[in-house]
Structure 1
Amino acid sequence: MRGRLDPKESIRRYSRMEKSSNGKLIAIVGAGIVGVSTAIWLQRAGHDVILVDRAGPGEGTSYGNGGVLASAAIVPVTVPGLLRKAPGMLFSRDQPLFLKWSYLPRLAPWLRRYLTHATADEARRIAAALHPIIGDSLADHQALSAGTRAARWLVPSDYVFLYRDRAAFAADAFGWSIRRDHGFEWDEFEDDALRAYDPVFSAENGFAIRLKNHGRIADPGRYVKDLADHAQMNGARIFKANVDDFVIADGRVIGLRAGGETIACSGVVLTAGVWSKALAAKLGVEVPLESERGYHLELWEPSAMPRSPAMIAAAKFVVTPMENRLRLAGIVEFGGLDAPPSRAPFDLLMRNIRAAIPDLTWKDTKEWMGHRPAPSDSIPLIGPAPKVAGAWLGFGHHHVGLTGGPKTGRLLAQLISGARPNIDLAPYAPARFD
C-alpha cells in the first residue's frame, strides 16, 4: 500500500499546488460525508460553497453506518456463487439478506444488471476501481479532519475478521486473494493467540485476521456535523431543504431550486446518496441505482468493548466500539425508500451479538434503518455530468460511503478547480451508464 502523508503536510500541499485563482460559488446537494468532504476541499482550493440537505448535515446514512474505515472492503458483494447462494439466504432467518417481496417487480430490472457482475473477472474489476477510493482511508480522513473538531472522533485501529476456524477462512480465499493482490497484508491469530489479542469474543470464533492501518469513527453523526460546522465557520452556507430541480441555461447549471427558493451558483455537485437518482436524471444521467436498506443496533453502556472493530464473518455483521456504546451493523434488505423498517433484521443482529459475546450486558438499545446507494455495478459515480456543464456527481458508494467520502470529495474539488487527479477516473464516469 502506498505511504501515508502527514495530515497537515497534505493540506499545505493541496493549498500550494491546487488553490484556485478563480474561486467559484459551488452548491452541493447532500450534506453527508461525501458532500461535507467536498465542501471542505473546495474551500481549501479557494471556492465558496453552499450545502443543501433535506435533513441537515450528518443525518442520513453518514449517521447510521458501521463506523469502520474499512480500507480493505474492496471485495464486492457480487462475488462468484452469489446467484447460487442468494435464494437460500433469502429463506433463512439467520442470513443477513432480506427482501420485501412486494418490491420485487420494481427491483427486478436493477437486480438482473446487478447479478451480471457476480463473476470472478467482474469482482476483480470492481475491486480495482474501489481500491484507489478507499485503500488509504485513514490517511484520507486524517487529512480531511486535521485542524477541525471532528478529528477527536477519528481513532486509528486494527480491523479484525473473525472466523469459526481456519477452514472457514480458507473458504473465503477468493476475496482474500484480491486483497493481497492490492497490497493488503495481515496477521493470523488462532485459539490462544486470538484470546490473548481480544478475549471478549466467544470461543466459537477460533481464527482471526488482523488488518492494521485501519480506523474507526467513535461517533459518525457527530463527526460529519463537526466537519460541517468547520465548513460553516469558514464561510459555507448551509440550507435545510429538499432540492427539487436545477436551473439550466445554454446547457450549463446556473442554480438550483430548493425549499421554494432559487439559489444561484456557478456549479453544482450532487452527493445526495440514494436520493441522487431522481436529481441525476434531471441532469441527463440515468443511473441504475437502488436503496440497499441497512440496519444497526446500538448497545449503550455495554459491559465489555472489543479491542477493535470486528467483522463476524459467518454472520456478515460488524461490531464497532463507539463513544459509550457498541454499534452492530451489516444487514442487507431490498425494499425501496418508502417501506417502514422490518423487525427481522433487528432480531437477527440481536441473536448474532448474543452468540458472538454471550455474557454481554448493556443499559439501553437503539435501532436505526437507512439507505445505502447501490449502483448496479457497485462502483460509485465520481465526475462531471456528461450532458450538462457545471454539474458533477459523487454518489453510489454502496457499503463504503464513510470510508471513501474524503477521497471522493477531494477528487471532486480537484476536478472543479481544473486540477488533474492522480488516479484514472474512467471507472467512475457517470457517462458509463449511457
Structure 2
Amino acid sequence: MQASNSCDVIVIGAGIIGAMSAWYLQREGRSVTLLEHQQIAHGASQGNAGILAFPEVSPMAAPGVFRKVPGWLLDPLGPLSIRPAYLAQITPWLWRFWRASRPQAYAQSLAAQTQLMHLAQTEMQQVMRERALQSYFRQVGTLDLYDTEASLQAAQKDWDNRAQAGAQFHRVGRTDIDHLQPGLAPQFQHGMFTPDGTQVGNPRQLTQALAQLALQTGAVLTTGHARALSTTPTGAQVHLADGRVLQARTVVVACGAWSKPLAASLGDKVPLDTERGYNTTLPLQGFALQRQLYFNDHAFVVTPLADGIRVGGAVELGGLALPPNFERSRAMLGKAQRFLPQLDIQGGTQWMGFRPSMPDSLPVIGTASATSNVIYAFGHGHLGLTQSAGTARLVADLACQRTPPLALAPFSAARFA
C-alpha cells in the first residue's frame, strides 16, 4: 500500500516521553506529527505520583532480590504480585530479571542508570525554567520512612548508591519526622530526608502543556493506532489499524507499554512487560500533606498533588489484558489511613495504569536495528516522568545526527538479542 501521508518526524505516543520529545524536536527545527490513539496523557502519564525521582538510580533487579520474591508472592496484595493466569507468560521476563540481578550485570545497569539520571536532571532543570511550565513544579522534599532500624539498615546499599550518584540527603529521627510531616503514626521513628525532592502538581496537565508547546511551534496532532512499522529508502512507514500508512523521514516510538509490537515489526524483540500501577487520588482536605512520603517497607507513596492527595505504588505483573484488581488500591489506602490517622480516605478516585517495564530497569533508547530512521524511547518503568527530559534530549540528538552526551549501548534494543 502506498503511504497516504508524508511527514518529517512522527512521534508515536502522546504521553510524557512523546510530548517532551515532540517539543524538543520542534525546537530543533524539525516538523513533528504527534500520533496518539486516544488522548494526550491518557495512560501512565496521567496517573503517576508526580515525583521527580532523580536519586533512584538502583535497578530493581539487584543481587539477592530473588530471595524476597517468594514471600512477596504469598501476599496477593503485597509489594509484588503475579496472577496465576499470567505466570507462564511472564516467566521469560522473570528469567531475564534474574540474570540482570547478578552482581556484574547489576553494576553495569547501575552505572548506566546513574548517567541517565544525571542527564535527566540537568535537562529537567532547563525545562522547569520555561515560563509556561514553571507553575507545575514545586520543591517539597522527600521523606523516606522505615518501620524499624533493621529495615533502614537493609536499605543502606540503595542509599550508598544515591550518595555515590551525588544525591544530598540526611537521616532523621522522630523529632525531625514530626517537624517534616506532622500526623504520622508513632511507629515511624526512622527515615531519610532529601531536601530537593521535587513534586509535579498535576502530571496530566504538565504532559498536556508540553504537547501544547510543541503544537504552538508547528507540530500537528493526529489520531491513529500504530500497528506496525516498515522501512523505506528514505525513512520509515507507520501502518495504522484503520489501513492508513504514514511515511516519515524519522519515526520515534514512544508509546510506553504498547511499544513492543512496533519494535518487533522491525525485528527487535524486546522483553518489555508491564508493571500495573494502582493508586487512589483523594480530594483536597483538611489534612496538610507537606511533602512526598515513601513508605518503603510497604512499597507505596503518598504525594501532594495540586488538586488532591495521591496514594499509590506496589507492582503487579499482569500484562495489558487482565482486568484491574482494585483490591490493591484499597489495601494501600487502608495502610495510608493507619500510617496517617488524620487522613480522610473517603471520596477518592481509583486508577490503574501500565508502566512499561524492562527486566534490567533500563529503558530502550536508541535507533532500531533495521534502520537509524526509527528511534526507540520507551520502557522507563516507573521513571518515565523523571527521565522524560533526558530521553527527549537523546532523541533529539539522534534525530539530528549528533553524538549523544552518553553512551547508548546499555539502552540498546539489541542488548537482549
Structure 2 runs not aligned, ≥5 long: 1-6
TM-score, normalising length: structure 2: 0.93
Distance in 2 separating the partners of 1:135 and 1:317: 25
Match of 1:34 among 13, 17, 24: 17
Kindly state the Cα deviation for residue 317 of structure 1 after the two structures are TM-superposed.
0.7
Structural mapping, 1:77-88, within 5 Å:
77-88=60-71
Contact 2:75/2:81 (CA < 8 Å) preserved in 1? Answer: no
2:348 alignment partner, SS class:
strand
Structure 1 runs not aligned, ≥5 long: 1-23
Contact 1:138/1:213 (CA < 8 Å) preserved in 2? Answer: no
Kindly state the Cα deviation for residue 203 of structure 1 after the two structures are TM-superposed.
1.8
Q: Which residue of 2 aligns with 1:256?
A: 238
Match of 1:330 among 313, 318, 333: 313
Does residue 1:90 correspond to 2:73, yes or no? yes
Does residue 1:66 correspond to 2:49, yes or no? yes
Distance in 1 separating the partners of 2:247 and 2:129: 31
1:288 alignment partner, SS class:
coil
Contact 1:138/1:156 (CA < 8 Å) preserved in 2? Answer: no
Contact 1:277/1:287 (CA < 8 Å) preserved in 2? Answer: yes
Does residue 1:430 correspond to 2:417, yes or no? no
Q: Which residue of 1 aligns with 2:304?
A: 321
Deviation per residue, 1:99-128 (Å, 9 max, x gap): 111111111111111122223443332221
Does residue 1:179 correspond to 2:172, yes or no? no
2:267 alignment partner, SS class:
coil
Contact 1:284/1:388 (CA < 8 Å) preserved in 2? Answer: no
% identical equivalent positions: 29
Does residue 1:119 correspond to 2:102, yes or no? yes
> What amino acid is the match of 1:419?
R
Distance in 2 separating the partners of 1:190 and 1:150: 35
Q: Which residue of 1 aligns with 2:134?
A: 151
Contact 1:385/1:393 (CA < 8 Å) preserved in 2? Answer: yes
Deviation per residue, 1:206-250 (Å, 9 max, x gap): 122111323111110111011111111111111122012234224
Deviation per residue, 1:337-357 (Å, 9 max, x gap): 011101321122112201220
Contact 2:80/2:314 (CA < 8 Å) preserved in 1? Answer: yes
1:351 alignment partner, SS class:
helix
Kindly state the Cα deviation for residue 287 of structure 1 after the two structures are TM-superposed.
0.2
Does residue 1:76 correspond to 2:59, yes or no? yes
Q: 1:91 to 1:187 in 2, by over 3 A?
A: same
1:420 alignment partner, SS class:
coil
> What amino acid is the match of 1:218?
G
Match of 2:208 among 225, 229, 232: 225
Q: 1:28 to 1:291 in 2, by over 3 A?
A: same
Deviation per residue, 1:292-350 (Å, 9 max, x gap): 11111111123313221111111111111001211112120011101110132112211
Distance in 1 separating the partners of 2:239 and 2:131: 31
Distance in 2 separating the partners of 1:393 and 1:275: 12
Does residue 1:312 correspond to 2:289, yes or no? no
1:149 alignment partner, SS class:
coil
1:125 alignment partner, SS class:
helix
Distance in 1 separating the partners of 2:104 and 2:294: 25
Q: Which stretch shifts more, 139-148 or 351-360? A: 139-148
Contact 1:189/1:208 (CA < 8 Å) preserved in 2? Answer: yes
2:172 alignment partner, SS class:
strand
Distance in 2 separating the partners of 1:203 and 1:121: 40
Q: 1:357 to 1:137 in 2, by over 3 A?
A: farther
Contact 2:312/2:329 (CA < 8 Å) preserved in 1? Answer: no
Q: 1:329 to 1:122 in 2, by over 3 A?
A: farther
Contact 1:190/1:208 (CA < 8 Å) preserved in 2? Answer: yes
Distance in 1 separating the partners of 2:371 and 2:382: 28
Q: 1:174 to 1:145 in 2, by over 3 A?
A: closer
Distance in 1 separating the partners of 2:284 and 2:210: 26
Q: Which residue of 2 aligns with 1:352?
A: 335
Distance in 2 separating the partners of 1:94 and 1:372: 18
TM-score, normalising length: structure 1: 0.90
Contact 1:302/1:362 (CA < 8 Å) preserved in 2? Answer: no
Q: 1:150 to 1:257 in 2, by over 3 A?
A: farther
2:134 alignment partner, SS class:
helix
Does residue 1:131 correspond to 2:75, yes or no? no
Kindly state the Cα deviation for residue 93 of structure 1 after the two structures are TM-superposed.
5.0
Does residue 1:300 correspond to 2:283, yes or no? yes
Q: 1:335 to 1:46 in 2, by over 3 A?
A: same
Q: Which stretch shifts more, 327-336 or 91-100? A: 91-100
Distance in 2 separating the partners of 1:307 and 1:122: 38
2:231 alignment partner, SS class:
strand
Contact 1:305/1:326 (CA < 8 Å) preserved in 2? Answer: no
Contact 2:36/2:222 (CA < 8 Å) preserved in 1? Answer: yes
2:362 alignment partner, SS class:
coil
Match of 2:83 among 100, 110, 116: 100
Q: Which stretch shifts more, 262-271 or 123-132? A: 123-132
> What amino acid is the match of 1:261?
R
2:298 alignment partner, SS class:
coil
Kindly state the Cα deviation for residue 263 of structure 1 after the two structures are TM-superposed.
2.1
Does residue 1:361 correspond to 2:337, yes or no? no
